[in-house]
Structure formats: structure tokens, C-alpha cells
Amino acid sequence: MLTADVVNLLLGDGEATPKAIETTAMEMVRTGRLQGEQKADGTLTVRMLPRTSDTAPLRPVEELVVERIRRRSRSGVDRVPIGALGPGDGDEFWVWWRGFQDSVRDETTALGLIRPARNKYVTLVYRGAALAAWFGALWAGVSWSPDWMRILLEVVLVLSLLGLVWLSDVPLGSGPRLTAAGRQAAREWRTHECAGDHRLPKRQVGGTGPESALPVREPRRIWSSYGRSWHVVDTGPLDIPRWGHLWQFVVLAVTVCAASVAAVVLSLTARLPFDWEWDTAPVLTGVLLWGLWLPARRHVLAVPDESSFRGAVISRWDYDTHHDDPHTDVTHYCCSIEDPATRKAWSFEVGQWSRPMFSRKANPELKDRFRVGDIVDVHCSPRRREIHQISVVEAVSRAD
């Protein structure tokens, strides 16, 4: 019987997914490595058990799960919902997740079920040789074939050249690949009676990179332990809504009025077919756009314009933007802060740092300025995603 993390990687065709965290924790509960408890609402929580001299050593993957539980328990709680072990706290999850993936791959490789990732230069040589052979054969065929065949080969050659545009987006690196034994084991597990426990979610969150685990562009529900009680918080996106602002209504009204006047003047000075349609089309367009703008405006007004509260940082991340003049890369340091009164969290950018292009340097002061679990006093504008004043009241340990 394979371990839960190995089964997850097999069902993911060589890639571990965040589902492995949940299944590994449940397996550790069944084997007595963790203590599990189901709350009244059905949420399964886990906690660490004290180590004794006769306790069997943990596998590297299990040690990482215990480390994850320890990190998520630093706010004064000793039990962590299994869902809170997955993506949600941004960079802190991603740093841990890379080690978890590597441990799962090492374990699966030792079983002979997976091959290591191929070097990108070797992959480039293989693909270059295949392309050279393909285009060489087509060129030779065009040179030596009769006229009717030459036309057909030229069409294939042009389509192949257009296909190179699509191939330019294919990554050079070749990820881990299942061996023949791994593919056989994956087929067996897909029809196994316990396959439902390992079924992968339809949307893999956090499996392909740090951006997929962060609330940067869309709302997200994140676990929080603020107040020493685990609960789920609705986290707003970093970007303000694109539609529903007052200036858009002004531009819309001016445009519709100008179009209506132009349509009336045109219908009076020139004989056009469908006169009444020319007159009513701008009005109908304005009514339609108004119907689209009004719900968006209500959504914007639902977000408070000014707010002051004491809350907790429940997610922290950063992302980069590139500027050509001058050639610099800018790192944006962001975090999501929970407002306990509304059980909502607002996302803000708390700092920027510019560096020369292609530089890998980071600003340690900004990167560690806020961490998940910090208690902060905030005066902000959630509607504009702006922070007027913020100060740390209680900081978590920076040792880990």
C-alpha cells in the first residue's frame, strides 16, 4: 500500500497537489502520528502529539506536515483544521510547499515510480533535433517532388512554421515523468476502492506557483485563527473594481447625450432608412449600460470608504512588475488584514522596492515588515485599497 502523498503524485501525473496535505494529515491521524478531532460543524482538526522515546521516526513528508501545523498554531491555538494547512497564507505557504513537493518526489523516486525532471538544455537539444529532422525532410521534399506534391508540401511547411509560434510558449523544462511502473500504479489507483479519498480537486490551487496561492487578483476565502478561534474569512482582492465608478457614469452620460443629439440632427438633415431606430438607439444603449453600471456601483458602495480597526495579517505575498524606462524591476509587498468586526479581510500594498533589472535582491525590511499572525492597528480606505496608517501591536516570532 503506497502512502497518501505518493498516491497523490501518481494521480497528478508526476506533480504533487495541495490535496496531498489533507490526505497525508488524515493518514497520520489513522496511524496515531497526529490526534484528530471532528468539531460539531463537521470540520476535522488535527493537533501534534508529544514525542516519546518509543515513538517511531517520522518520514520527511510527515515532518513537514508537523512543521506546517506548528506554524499555523502560533496564534495561541493548538488545533488546526485540515483545510487551514493548504494554500491561503501566501508566501509562507509557498516556501513550505516547495519543500513538501521535493520530499514527495524524493520518496516516489526512491520507489522507482517517477523519473527526475530532465535538464532544460537536454530537452532543448532533443526538440531542436526533432525540428531539424522535420523541416529538413519537408525542404527536401519540396526540392525533389513533382509540382502537385510540391504545393502540398509547401502548405505543410507554412503551417509548420506557424506552429513554431505556438511552440514558443511551451516551457523548456520537462517536469518529473512517471515510469512504466508509475503509470501502472496510477491506473490501478484510479479504479481503487479508496480512490475517492484521493480524488483531486477540479481546480488546483497553489500547485503551479506562488501566484496561484495568493489573493492577488480575485477574492478568496482564507482560514484565520485571530481571537484563538479558527474561522474562514472572505478576503477581498488587491485591485479595486474596474466598473462602477462615478467618473465612468459621467463619461457614459455625456457620450449618450452627444450620440442622441448627433442622431437627431442626422435624422433631420438627411433622409435615412429607419429614422426612429437612429433616434432611439443611443437611448437604448444608455439604458443598457446603466443597467450594467448600477449593480457594479452598488457593489463599490458596499465597501467602506474609511475604516479603522485592530486586526490580524492572514496572508502576505509579493509580486514584481517591470519598467523599461529606466530598466528596473519593482517588487510590491502586499498583505491581507482581517477586520474582526465584519469577518472580512482587505488586501493592501504596504511597500515597494525598486532594483536593477534581472537583480534577485530583496528588501529584508519590507519583506519581514509584516508576517502572517501579526496583530496590527489599521486606518485605511478599503474602497480605494489604501492604507493611511498602520502599526504593529503584537508581532509573531521572526525566528522561523
Cell numbers placing 211: 501566484
- The one-letter amino acid code at 27 reads E
Signed CA dihedral, 91, 93, 95, 97: sign only? negative
Q: Residue 363's pLDDT is what?
A: 82
Cell numbers placing 320: 514584481
Q: Which phi and psi angles does 241 have, rounded to 5°?
A: -60, 140
Q: Residue 69's pLDDT is what?
A: 92
Q: What is the DSSP string of 38-101?
A: E-TTS-EEEEEPPP-TTPPPPPHHHHHHHHHHHHHTTTS-S-EEGGGGSS-SBHHHHHHHHHHH
- The number of angstroms, rounded, from the C-alpha of 47 to the middle of its chain's C-alpha atoms is 27
Q: Residue 215's pLDDT is what?
A: 52
Q: Residue 202's pLDDT is what?
A: 60
Question: Residue 316 class from Cβ within 10 Å (0-12 exposed, 13-18 middle, 19+ buried)?
Answer: buried
Q: Residue 218's pLDDT is what?
A: 64
Name which of 393, 311, 374, 352 is nearest 74 in CA terms.
374
Cα gap 74→226, rounded to integer Å? 11
The pLDDT profile of the chain, 400 residues, written as one tens digit per residue, is 789 999 999 988 888 888 899 999 999 999 889 999 988 878 899 999 888 777 788 999 999 999 999 988 877 788 899 988 988 888 888 889 989 999 999 999 999 999 877 777 777 788 888 888 988 888 888 888 887 788 888 888 888 887 777 776 666 666 678 899 999 998 998 888 877 777 766 655 555 555 555 555 566 788 998 988 888 899 988 888 888 888 888 887 787 777 777 766 766 666 555 555 555 666 666 676 777 788 888 888 988 999 999 999 999 988 888 877 778 888 889 999 999 988 899 999 998 888 887 777 778 888 888 999 899 999 999 999 999 999 999 988 877 6
Q: Residue 267's pLDDT is what?
A: 66
Secondary structure E strands in 148-299: 177-178, 220-224, 231-235
